[in-house]
Each structure stands twice: as C-alpha cells, then as structure tokens.
Structure 1
Amino acid sequence: MTTAAVKTPLGVIASGGDLPKAIAESARDGGRAVFVIALTGSAEEWVKDFPHEWCGLGEVGKLLKALKGAGCEEITMAGKIARPKFSDIKLDWKGVLVAPGIIAAARKGDDGLLRAVVETVEREGFRAIGAQDAAPGLLVQEGPLGRLKPDAEDEVDIATAFKIVRTLGELDVGQAAVVSEGLPLAVEAAEGTDAMIARIGTLPKHFRGQADKRRGVLVKAPKPIQDRKTDLPVIGIATVRNAAAVGLAGIAVEAGGALILGQKAVAEEADKLGLFVIGVKP
C-alpha cells in the first residue's frame, strides 16, 4: 500500500465469517481508520463497532457512494458469500449496468465472481488489496507455530496433500485436502473446510488417527488460478479443534499464502491438543 493510502480509511467489504472482523481489527490496531461495507445477508453484527454501511449485493451504486463518502482509496474484500439466485437480487442503477458481466463471471466459478467484483470497484478509482496487505499480521510465516513439528511420515503426507490441493485448485474446486499415510481421506469442495474435516470422523477407524495415536494432515493452500486480492485460505482455533477431534496429527498451510486468525491462541490450542501447525514454503 502507498504512504498516501495509509492516511485514508481502509474500506472493508465484509461478508460472513471471522475473517472480515479480524482484518478490520488488525488494521485499526495498526493505527489505520476503517470503514466497513456490510453485505446484507452475509455480514454480522460486529460491524457496529466500526463506521459502516449496509448494502445488498445488487446495490453497487450505494456501495461505491459510501466508500467515496468515507474517503477510502484502498479496499479489501473478505468473508464467505452465499451465492444467491441472481433473480432475487435487487439492483440499483449501477447494479443494472454491471450485473451482466458479474453474472457471466459467476458462471465460471467463485474466483471468477470475486475477480469481477474487484474489477468493478477498481474501475471506479479504488485500489483493491489483499488481506495479506490490509492486515499483514494475519499472514502465515514459514515454520511451526507451536512446540510440535511434523515427523518424516507427516512430511510425506504434507507433500502429497499439497499436490492434491494444487491440482484441484486448477479446476476451482477447493483449497484443502487431508492425507494419512499416503491415502487421501478428503478434499474440500463447496461444503467448506469444517464440513470436510467432519466427514473424516465418519470413516472407519483403520483409515484415520485417534487421540492416542494421531496420524494424517490437513493442508490448505491457495488455488493456482485465484486472485490473492480476494481469497486466501484461513484457519483458526476452530480448525485446530476440528482436526484434533478426528485424530489428525497436524495442519500445514502455505507460508505467505494463508491467514491464521489469532496466531498465538491457535499455537496454544494446538500445543494443548497435541497437534502441529506449520507454515510450509511451496
């Protein structure tokens, strides 16, 4: 980000989940003013702690006017958007103009949809930045977060899972996979990481680890095709707890390509539950 831009409020276009709040709080804690565009139907009540404006997905004109009125020059998008039926979206005048392009992009997948939204905002003179630039303290660094590290078998599983994630990412499928002793146990699709991990608990015990003998790793990494301004993999305390509940040995994420919400708390929880959490260079 430019020095001039830092003096202006950061515009956070927020949908669901913990990430938008973490970005807004991190930027504010770093001394930067924050203005939130809360997407109706997705964003949560934490936005009341910041200057904000509620906007529907089709209210593009209202969104742009609010960002300009707040003095924003840089914006970032974050959170989970439940893909709606486009026939149900109420469009304002600007929304009518940009809707055909966004609908066409959405048919190409989530990344196409997000890129189209970012391009729409950038055409109005704003500069889109990724969460890693808006809140660099959330970015995963290389190495273990806690006291535990993967053993040789875990490292083989990590390498295999990274290959799976990158291959699926080329098809815009997901950002996560679980591998145990060389066997893929699950891959992420539309259900999300938490639901994917939960499926592992339904597998026969001989396929997966147990609390007294953990095995298998969860790997998360960006899709090769995705725009890192819009969507990086995220883990938090819930991810650690879910992985522990199904007997996994640990979690590996791409260093410099993933975000951790509450890194200190995540490291402490992983140590308590007996899992490693590590950032791995691709």
Structure 2
Amino acid sequence: MSGKLAILACAGALPVAIARANPDAMIITLEGIPSELEGQSHRHRLEQIGTLFAAMKEAGVDRMVFAGSLVRPALDPSAFDAEMAALAPRLMAALQMGDDGLLRTVIEVFEEQGFSVVGAHQVLPSLTAEAGLHVGPDPDETTKADITRATEILQGIAPLDVGQGCVVAGGQCLGIETVQGTDALLQFVAGTPPQFRRDYRGVLVKAAKAGQDLRIDMPTIGPRTIESAAGAGLAGLVIEAEKVMILDRDTTLQAARDSGLFLLAADI
C-alpha cells in the first residue's frame, strides 16, 4: 500500500487544484513564500528543513509534489538547523547553475530523505493537453511560419536555461520569456511600436526546455495568459503537447474562444 502524498504548495491556482483532487494529502507551505493554501497547511521555515523532513516522515509521506510559483526566499543563516547548515554549501553551489540546476539539487535532497518527487501532471494528468488540441480559428500561412520560427528560437536557446516562451510576428522575434515570466513577456510585446510589427499579429509558442525536469518546473498557461495574449494583439498560442500545463482548463479554453484566439497543442 502506498503512503501519503505531500503537496509543497506555493503561489497560484495549481496547488489548489491538486489539493482538491487529493483531499488526504499533507499540505506544506513555507515561511516567506505566499500560498493560497497557507491557512490549511503545515507551515515550516526553510531554515529548519530538518523539522520539515521529520514532520513528513511522521505523517507517513512517501511521495511529494512541488506546485505553484516559487520565489526564492531570503534565508537567515543564523536560524539554520543542523540539516540546513549541512546542505547550505551544496545549495549555494547549485544556485550558480541556474534554475534547472537548483531544482535538480532540491529534488535530490528530498529523494535522499526517502521521498519520491512526482510531477503535478503525474498527480493530475488532466493538466496537460495531447497533440491535436485545437481551439479557435485556424492559423493562416504567415502565422504558421511564425510558429516554426518561434519553435526554432526556443530550441536554439534551450541549452542556455533562459525561458520557455517566444513571440514571433511576421518572422520577427518580438520577445523571449525570461525570469519575469510569460505575462511580463506579453506586456513587453504589447508595447512594441507598430513599425516593428508591420500589421502582423504574431504568435506565442510555449515549450519545455531541453532536459528540463518536468516534475518540478513544467511550463504553464492559464486564463491570464490568454488575456495577456489578446492584449498583446496576438493571433494565438501554441503549447508543447503533454509538456505544458493548462491551469483552470475549461476557463482557459473558453477565454481563447471568447477572445478569438487559437490555442493549439503540438509536438515540438
């Protein structure tokens, strides 16, 4: 018989959806990291990670899922327990390897304690879309060419651990997602002077980075992404099939229909 699932719940709708689908799960939130589930969780300080490990083991946890938007918290070294003090040099070294390197190290730390780290899409398979999902109008030939161009750009920068989204219009790259996220990218695109767009609407392509560990850092879109894409004047969005989560799926798909945008899931 399998043990208990723990949800390390950070900000956003994803932890809420996973908790709703797994009512017996242990919900964990961390001091300094906002979460909609804070009021119904076991709250811990990251500096006292040994206490967190002990609480999870006492609850019978054998699997855990990281969910939500995680902002790196400011840590107080004077509050480190023995476990965190021992881990600190390793985590500091991982910080120099970018987000992917840090997240891989975090997974290793928890798995060394006997906890199997699973992806949100494994706990809630309906989060992703299979290839062939098509909502809204068909992209025209120019937009199809933009999709190809944006995909090529993402594949080119994937080894650099930069971002998961790219906007192209009329063959021109209008922006690449960086640490600020997709909404910031789309706001930037919305402010692009008209002469650079030449009446082309453009497309957002969102895909996982090569080698990205999808258990802890899967790309996502949601209703706000559709709203921002519409505000940026795009024709639509393409997401990588089975590697991008659609939060609040029904609302997101309906928002695309209402906005006149297409939303496609494709193998990339």
**Equivalent of 1:13 in 5, 8, 21:** 8
**Equivalent of 1:247 in 233, 242, 252:** 233
Amino acid in the other structure paired with 1:117: V
- Identity across matched positions, percent: 36
Aligned to 2:25: 34
Q: Distance in 1 between matches of 2:143 and 2:59?
A: 49
Amino acid in the other structure paired with 1:277: L
Q: Distance in 2 between matches of 1:87 and 1:164?
A: 40
Q: Distance in 1 between matches of 2:221 and 2:153?
A: 18
Question: 1:39-86 deviations in whole A, cap 9, x for unaligned?
Answer: 22213233434xx21122222112212221222111111222223455
Confirm or deny: 8 A CA contact 2:146 2:169 kept in the other structure. yes
1:184 aligns with 2:173: yes
Aligned to 2:223: 237
Question: What SS is found at the alignment partner of 2:54?
Answer: helix
Confirm or deny: 8 A CA contact 2:16 2:36 kept in the other structure. no
Total equivalences in the alignment: 268
Confirm or deny: 8 A CA contact 2:128 2:245 kept in the other structure. yes
Structure 1 residue ranges (4+ consecutive) displaced by more than 6 angstroms after TM superposition: none
Question: 1:102-150 deviations in whole A, cap 9, x for unaligned?
Answer: 1111111111111111101100111111111011111122123424332
- Residues 82 and 73 of structure 1: CA distance in aligned 2, closer, same or farther (over 3 Å): same
Aligned to 2:192: 203
Confirm or deny: 8 A CA contact 1:56 1:90 kept in the other structure. no
Aligned to 2:213: 227
Aligned to 1:269: 255
Question: What SS is found at the alignment partner of 1:58?
Answer: helix
User: Matches of residues 86-165 of structure 1 in structure 2 within 5 Å?
Assistant: 86=75, 90-165=79-154
- Residues 43 and 66 of structure 1: CA distance in aligned 2, closer, same or farther (over 3 Å): farther
Q: Distance in 2 between matches of 1:67 and 1:126?
A: 9
- Residues 208 and 267 of structure 1: CA distance in aligned 2, closer, same or farther (over 3 Å): farther
Unaligned runs of 5+ in 2: none
Q: Distance in 1 between matches of 2:74 and 2:191?
A: 32
Name which of structure 1's ranges 248-257 and 94-103 shifts more when overlaid on structure 2: 94-103
Amino acid in the other structure paired with 2:124: A
Confirm or deny: 8 A CA contact 2:11 2:69 kept in the other structure. yes
Name which of structure 1's ranges 101-110 and 33-42 shifts more when overlaid on structure 2: 33-42
1:61 aligns with 2:47: no
Amino acid in the other structure paired with 2:27: V
Question: 1:198-230 deviations in whole A, cap 9, x for unaligned?
Answer: 001111124348xxx772111111111321111
Confirm or deny: 8 A CA contact 1:15 1:43 kept in the other structure. yes
Q: Distance in 2 between matches of 1:110 and 1:274?
A: 35
- 1:87 deviation in Å? 5.5
Q: Distance in 1 between matches of 2:130 and 2:197?
A: 28
**Equivalent of 1:45 in 36, 41, 44:** 36
Give TM-score, length-normalised by structure 1. Answer: 0.88
Confirm or deny: 8 A CA contact 2:166 2:175 kept in the other structure. yes
Give TM-score, length-normalised by structure 2. Answer: 0.92
Amino acid in the other structure paired with 1:69: E
Amino acid in the other structure paired with 2:261: L
Confirm or deny: 8 A CA contact 1:38 1:55 kept in the other structure. yes
Q: Distance in 1 between matches of 2:189 and 2:243?
A: 25
Question: 1:159-196 deviations in whole A, cap 9, x for unaligned?
Answer: 21122122222111111110111110000111111111
- 1:151 deviation in Å? 2.6
